Amino acid sequence: MIGSLEILGVYFVNNEGVQLVCGWGINDVDYPVHRYEKVEGKTRQKCIWVCPYYRKWCGVLIRCFDQGLHKKHPTYIGCTICDEWKYLSNFIKWVDSQPNRDWINCDLDKDFLSTSNKHYSPETAVFVPSKVNKFVLDSGKVRGAFMIGVKISPNKKNPYIARCNNPFNSKERYIGLFPTELEAHLAWQAKKHEYACLLAEQQQDPRVAKALRERYAPDKDWTNNKETT
pLDDT tens for residues 102-148? Answer: 999 999 999 999 999 999 999 999 999 999 999 998 765 556 789 99
Taking CA atoms, 207 is separated from 72, 93, 110, 122, in Å, by 31, 19, 13, 12
pLDDT surpassing 70 at residue 212? yes
Q: What is the identity of the amino acid at 28?
A: D
| Separation between Cα atoms, residue 83 and residue 76, nearest integer Å | 18
**3-state SS class at 12:** strand
Mode of pairing for the β-strands spanning 160-166 and 171-178:
antiparallel
pLDDT tens for residues 25-41? Answer: 999 999 999 998 988 77
Domains of the chain in sequence order:
7-97 (no CATH), 135-215 (3.30.730.10)
